[in-house]
């Protein structure tokens, strides 16, 4: 049963990689779009839609990364039915803000060139298609399969090789999106509107770019350690090191994303509202990635000690 759950968890993490890359590309559009020359020509409603969609995509990224943090912090890389359910549930929830962001982006981009009627029509049509493809069709075809098994497997049940494979897969969940976002961040430095930003916003963007760079370095480090220091051997020491590096990488990621969210959204709705929204985004990420896993870990450890 544990091997079956481990196989399903690997598939779930692979699917999360697909979702987060798409979400981060849309996130990058929002960041980069705010510095294009045509952004200032957008109507006020488009600026508001841009800000709301940006916030929804930050939430989507938070939801998609959260299962990896719980797997590292709560389960210590062990396979359990609980973490499989968390990965499935959070991916399900994340599709909603991604669909909203997709529709909003099409409305902004198409509406800018062809008028608001075209923007609304195509945005609604593509958003409806996404929601039907991601929720409606699945609901119609649902056959009511239920996963059977224990709520929590024993700690020693998951083989070391499988735990390390999951850890490296989770690193691959985080790094493509971070790299895509990093590329957009670097491109912004070369845009003309960036030079017109207040000095504070420019410094915040520099700090955010450095945070994402730090996250990328930390996420790439387990592979380097595995090849150079451990010669490809799977050991408990490598697993602990890789898990700590992955958890540490989430910290600058949780700082860099809201920071650049502030810089981009302040272009649309002003610095005061942008600061409040960025603070809310940072809180959401830290709660999803650190606070909730730590609370769940405490509850799990207490439940185990009571057995």
Residue 155: the pLDDT is 47
Q: What is the pLDDT of residue 149?
A: 45
| DSSP three-state, residue 146 | coil
Q: Quick one: tokens of 158? A: 């998951």
Res 281: pLDDT: 96
pLDDT given for residue 172 in this prediction: 83
The dihedral sign for the CA sequence 178, 179, 184, 188 = positive
If you ran DSSP here, which 8-state letter would residue 157 be given?
G
DSSP output for 7-45: HHHHHHHHHHHHHHHHHHHHHHHHHHHTTSTTGGGS-HH
Rounded CA-CA distance 79/6 in Å is 6
The dihedral of CA 30, 28, 111, 55: what is its sign? Answer: negative
pLDDT of residue 142: 63
CB 67, CB 90: distance < 8 Å: yes
Do residues 105 and 90 touch, judged by C-beta distance below 8 A? no
Tens digit of pLDDT at every position of the chain (307 positions)? 556 788 888 888 888 888 888 888 888 888 888 898 888 889 999 999 999 999 999 999 999 999 999 999 998 888 888 999 999 899 999 999 999 999 999 999 999 989 999 999 999 999 999 999 888 876 776 654 444 444 444 444 678 888 898 898 888 888 877 888 898 899 899 888 898 999 999 999 999 999 999 999 999 999 899 889 888 888 999 999 999 999 999 999 999 999 999 999 998 889 999 999 999 999 999 999 999 999 999 998 888 787 6
> Backbone dihedral region of 171: left (phi > 0), alpha (psi from -120 to 50 degrees) or beta?
alpha
**201 token code pair:** 């916003």
């Amino acid at each position: 049963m544990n091997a079956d759950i481990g196989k399903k968890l690997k598939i779930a993490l692979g699917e999360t990689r697909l979702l987060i890359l798409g979400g981060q590309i849309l996130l990058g559009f929002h960041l980069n779009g705010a510095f294009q020359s045509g952004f200032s020509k957008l109507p006020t409603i488009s600026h508001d839609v841009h800000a709301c969609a940006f916030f929804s995509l930050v939430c989507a990224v938070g939801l998609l990364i959260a299962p990896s943090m719980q797997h590292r912090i709560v389960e210590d890389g062990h396979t359990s039915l609980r973490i499989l359910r968390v990965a499935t549930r959070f991916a399900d929830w994340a599709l909603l803000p991604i669909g909203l962001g997709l529709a909003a982006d099409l409305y902004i981009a198409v509406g800018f060139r062809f008028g608001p009627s075209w923007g609304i029509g195509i945005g609604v049509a593509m958003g409806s298609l996404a929601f039907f493809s991601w929720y409606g069709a699945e609901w119609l075809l649902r056959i009511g399969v239920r996963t059977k098994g224990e709520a929590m497997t024993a700690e020693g049940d998951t083989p070391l090789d499988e735990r390390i494979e999951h850890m490296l897969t989770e690193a691959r969940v985080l790094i493509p999106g971070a790299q895509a976002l990093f590329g957009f961040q670097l491109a912004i430095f070369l845009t003309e509107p960036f030079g017109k930003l207040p000095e504070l916003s420019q410094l915040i963007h520099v700090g955010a770019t450095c945070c994402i760079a730090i996250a990328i370095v930390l996420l790439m480090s387990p592979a380097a350690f595995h090849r150079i220091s451990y010669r490809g051997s799977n050991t408990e020491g490598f697993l602990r090191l890789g898990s700590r590096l992955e958890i540490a990488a989430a910290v600058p990621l949780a700082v860099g994303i809201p920071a650049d969210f502030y810089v981009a959204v302040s272009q649309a709705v002003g610095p005061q509202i942008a600061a409040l929204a960025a603070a809310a985004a940072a809180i959401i990420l830290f709660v999803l990635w650190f606070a909730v896993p730590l609370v769940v870990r405490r509850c799990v450890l207490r439940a185990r000690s009571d057995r």
